[in-house]
Chain A
Amino acid sequence: MARTTIVSALLAASLSLAALPANAVPSFARQTGLSCEACHTVFPELTHFGRMFKASGYILTSLPQVQGVTPEKEQRLALNQVPPLSLMVQVANTSLAKSLPDSSGLHGRAQNGTVAFPQQVSLFYAGKIAPKLGVFGQLTYSNSSGTIQIDNTDLRFADLVVLPDEKSLIYGLSLNNNPTLSDLWNGTPAFSYPYQSSNANVSPLARTAIDGMFAQTVAGLSAYALWNESAYAELGAYRSAKQGYTNPVTGAAGPLDGTASNVIQGVAPYWRVAYEQQWDLHSLEIGAYGATFKLLPGGGTPASPTTLQGATNRFKDVAEDVQYQFLGDNNLFSLAATHIHEAQTLDASFMAGASANPKNDLTTSRVTGTYFYRRKWGGSASYFSTTGSVDSVLYPLGSTPGVTTSANGSPDTPGWIVEADYLPWLNVKLSVQYTGYTKFNGGRNDYDGYGRKAGDNNTLYVAAWLAY
């Protein structure tokens, strides 16, 4: 097998996915008639009410309905007369502390200062479909792909039981394309900080599987229940659902065969438990979540044939998260943190010589504090760290010009982000964000083996985020 191994191919995929930010949607404001502040501290972080709106299936509406009712009063149709559509535009400029080497190999430097106009444009249909069915649907044009693609999508059925003690039990199903997308809190990966970031920066080699590795390349169905707006449990399973794949035999959209890479064997189980306590102006959530992905390498070519059978690589992720919020009229503060531990059993890669070790581990930690004054001025400070086993095959030295390589085979990448935000209006966010690395791919100086320092990848990102 070529150096493009199962794991490194996944990592490469994650680099592009890492650029996709989480979102908030004015579609919901249009549908409910509620201002942004009902569901968001500052978008896209959710308030308690926002979490309940999501758990309830996005169906709360104040719009006139097109109705269909049988003589027995069975509701057969309840459709918003006006579709809850909205747009999101992000424009940005990215500067690295030190410009990248010119990939044309003439020992020059790439331009520094990447203007993204736009970085991303998204169209949402987000809201009620039927009396107990709603959707968060997003189509995105990204300047990195130059195409329009399916983005985070969460199709949800939800219902409510009023228990004898007049406590609520919300239960439902979520069909979505990104593990943790269905979650209600902002410590879990799909909707965690940074809510927007550059797609013209340098991404580290390693990332845990549940941390966005499979965003938009899987489909998962999960069942969940929320008792008394506080105790939450969810159980689901994800299966590969690759966009843009065609079966070489039929030319149709499937089934997947050995030409597809990193295919989930069967389904990957996903689980989540959480408890939220509210008091006065405070709320505190503590939870755990996890998933286990068994991947078949695939990636076959006529020169290197393979099938979707045999040894797999297993990524078992177990994580904890916590979120605290203080929501005053003037001052809003939140703290969100997660700690993901991943045990990798790399049977397929090790047999193919694509990893130095049969087993590795990877740990990601993130903690973010956010403050806003009157939802107008504010900012965030975040610490992040990914550390793991040294594996010089998995995290290789690679060839010139380096940059995305590791001189010592370590994935360790700790760093921090500081961000200042100004929201002249609730749906317009202007941001200046600086990301600094204390290590990158295992090293501080000459981390890539070609003279680049971790600090050279420090990134200044200036962005405008318009949601309307």
Chain B
Amino acid sequence: MTTRLLLRAAILLATTAALARSADLTPEARSSAARMAVGTCASCHGAQGTSIIPKFPNLAAQPANYLATQLKAFRSRSRGDPDALAFMWGMAASLDDSQIDALAQYYSGKRASAGPNGDAALRARGKAIYDHGVASQKVPPCGACHGPKGEGTEEFPRLAGQHAQYFMNQMRSFQSNSRRADPMRLVASALSTSELEALAAYIQSM
């Protein structure tokens, strides 16, 4: 009970902080971010942050702080998964901090939607891993960091509704350490491909 309360308080604080930052944006910055998002980012991520092509992540409702951190990692070339290198290093290279914040706010304010349901048995297996982890493989429940409903936090990405293909590509990048995040490298390496696929199916349907 205490954990849930703490979690809710953390989400409330994060949301309040995000809203405060959103309110800080000038109309000019907001309009500039919309122009960038609709004119450039939309080709891969969709104008509303829900992408058509499943190798590109959905950005809608993604926590703003997480988005900003990733954009800065692309800009500094410290996030090195193959698609980051091929696409986002160039995309983020000329963004300044205020543009990054405005883009992050733009997408965090968009409404996310669940993806296709897929195979029920696969989803059920994925849900079990998501909710409870795999203790024998030292894999903690995903919800511990990403939220019980996959909604993400300011530090950890939203997973709910994310494309299975993007998710799997990222897991491979964590495994190979081309995207460096030690906790995720351990988790992704501990799970089998079939377990990851089950997780991907569940996450996409959330």
List A residues at the B interface (Cβ < 8 Å): 32-35, 37-38, 48-49, 52, 56, 60-65, 160, 162, 166-168, 170, 228-229, 278-281, 327, 329
Contact = CB atoms under 8 A, between A and B. Distances in A.
Given A160-B35, A162-B34, A329-B55, A167 B47 contact: yes
Nearest to A50: B43
Contacts of B165: 329
A32 B90 contact: yes
A170 B90 CA distance: 22
B34 A166 contact: yes
Nearest to B47: A166
Nearest to A56: B39
Interface in B70-103: 85-87, 89-91, 93-94
Most buried by A among B35, B44, B94: B94
B48 interface: yes
A229 B89 CA distance: 23
Contacts of B93: 33, 62
A56 B39 CA distance: 8
B90 A62 contact: yes
B87 A35 contact: yes
B39 A168 contact: yes
20 contacts: A32-B91, A33-B89, A33-B90, A34-B86, A34-B91, A35-B86, A38-B87, A38-B90, A62-B91, A64-B94, A160-B35, A229-B43, A278-B52, A279-B52, A280-B52, A280-B53, A281-B53, A281-B54, A281-B55, A329-B55
Given A33-B89, A52-B43, A162 B38 contact: yes
A228 B89 CA distance: 25
A167 B38 contact: yes
Nearest to A61: B94
Contacts of A280: 52-54
Q: How large is the interface on B (under 10, 10 to 19, 20 to 34, 35 or more residues)?
A: 20 to 34
A375 B182 CA distance: 31
B190 interface: no
Contacts of B94: 61-65
Nearest to B90: A33
B87 A168 contact: no
Contact of B47 (A49, A61, A168): A168
A34 B55 contact: no
A33 B55 CA distance: 19
A49 to B, nearest CB: 5
Interface string B1-45: 000000000000000000000000000000100110011101110
Contacts of B38: 160, 162, 166-168
B34 A60 contact: no
B169 interface: yes
Interface in B156-195: 165, 169
Contacts of B42: 168, 229
A33 B75 CA distance: 11
A49 B39 CA distance: 11
Given A33-B89, A35-B90, A168-B38, 4 more contacts: A160-B35, A167-B47, A229-B43, A281-B53
A35 B82 CA distance: 10
A287 B127 CA distance: 45
Contacts of A64: 94
A32 B90 CA distance: 6
Contact of A166 (B43, B44, B48, B54): B48
User: Interface centre among B35, B39, B47, B169, by most A CB within 10 Å?
Assistant: B39
B63 to A, nearest CB: 21
A62 B165 CA distance: 28
Nearest to A158: B39
A170 B40 CA distance: 11
A52 B91 CA distance: 14
Contacts of A48: 43, 53
A228 B47 CA distance: 9
A37 B47 contact: no
Chain A CB within 10 Å — which of B55, B85, B87 has the most?
B87
A430 B97 CA distance: 43
Contacts of A35: 85-87, 90
Nearest to A278: B52
A147 to B, nearest CB: 36
Nearest to B77: A33
B43 A49 contact: yes
Contacts of A60: 40
Contacts of A170: 39
A120 B112 CA distance: 50
A330 B114 CA distance: 26
Which of A61, A170, A280 lies at the interface centre, i.e. has the most chain B CB atoms within 10 A of its CB?
A280
Contacts of A228: 47
A447 to B, nearest CB: 47
A420 to B, nearest CB: 25
Contacts of A56: 39-40
Nearest to B116: A280
A65 B94 CA distance: 9
A160 B35 CA distance: 8
A33 B91 contact: yes
A278 B85 contact: no
B53 A37 contact: no
Contacts of A327: 53
Contact of A37 (B39, B44, B86): B86
A230 to B, nearest CB: 11
